Amino acid sequence: MSIQDKRKATEDEESVFEATVVGYLRDHPDFFVRWPAALEELQIPHPCGKAVSLIEHQVVVLRGQVQALRMQLQDFVRHARNNEILTERVHHLTLRLIQCRKLTDLLTALYAALIEDFKVDAAVVKLFVAARLERDRTRGEFVAGDTEVRSLFVNIIKAKEPVCGRLRVAQLAYLFGEHQSAVSSVALLPLGEPDRIGFLAIGSQDPYRFQPGMGTAFLKNLAEIVTRLLYPHLATA
């Protein structure tokens, strides 16, 4: 047998022995109660070089676990508070919008609430249907006859879920015009299901504010609210 083979055999024997020791200690949790001297004599090498007793090592491990649990709890509390704040803002937005009797007032209130209360940097609605009243049909939100919007946002129009991430330059220019340079990430919310009446685009300077794969439950709720409140002002209603 070569030296390498002997070394491998020795390592295998040690692994089996170590597994046996671990198994025995697991099956006999009272071992150190019956042999307290062994517990006191055990020394565990510390990463910094200083040896510590098993009890000291366990205390360090437990402190680390407690700290990890504390941080996890803080994350849960923070998310709960954020969700509570978000729910309250959606409630206020809904109350603010249902008071609007004119389409102009509705859209103005929507944009203002998103920018002021939700701290986004830009928002715009694009609608593929005509307004019910002649006075509203000249608004820039109505793009029923615009073939450019359908070619630029074909994937958004077909989507059933909000789409988040970064847009192409041409898409940003179409939506936000001269303000496109201030938008780094966008959430596009399809409006109307199954018949698509348009979409709501929300832009942020923060490139990480809207990312692919992020949760969209809030955005879907917002889209449903906006859709319901828009219908009475549209020719298809």
For the chain, give the percent of residues with pLDDT over 70.
82
Q: How do the domains of the chain map onto residue ranges? A: 102-233
Least confident piece of the model among 27-31, 128-132, 137-141, 181-185: 27-31
Fold of 102-233: Beta-Lactamase (3.30.450)
Residue 95 has pLDDT above 90, yes or no: yes
CB 125 within 8 A of CB 203: no
Dihedral of alpha carbons 66, 70, 71, 72, sign: positive
48 versus 136: which is more confidently predicted? 136
107 versus 145: which is more confidently predicted? 107
- For residue 192, is it left (φ>0), alpha (ψ between -120 and 50) or beta? left
CB 163 within 8 A of CB 187: yes
Q: Report how far residue 130's alpha carbon sits from residue 88's, in angstroms, rounded to the nearest whole number.
A: 33
Mean pLDDT over the full length of the chain? 84
In this prediction, residue 73 carries a pLDDT of 77
Q: Report how far residue 220's alpha carbon sits from residue 232's, in angstroms, rounded to the nearest whole number.
A: 20
Residue found by looking up tokens 């006075």 in the block: 135
* Token code pair at residue 212: 């692919």
Closest CA to 157 of 186, 127, 185, 130: 127
Q: For residue 205, what are the contacts with CB-CB under 8 A and spacing of at least 6?
A: 121, 182, 183, 184
> Which pLDDT tens digit goes with each residue over 39-61?
666 666 655 555 556 667 677 77
Q: In what order do the strands lie in the sheet with 122-127?
A: 122-127, 198-204, 185-191, 163-165
Q: For residue 8, what are the contacts with CB-CB under 8 A and spacing of at least 6?
A: none
Q: Report how far residue 23's alpha carbon sits from residue 3's, in angstroms, rounded to the nearest whole number.
A: 30
194 versus 200: which is more confidently predicted? 200
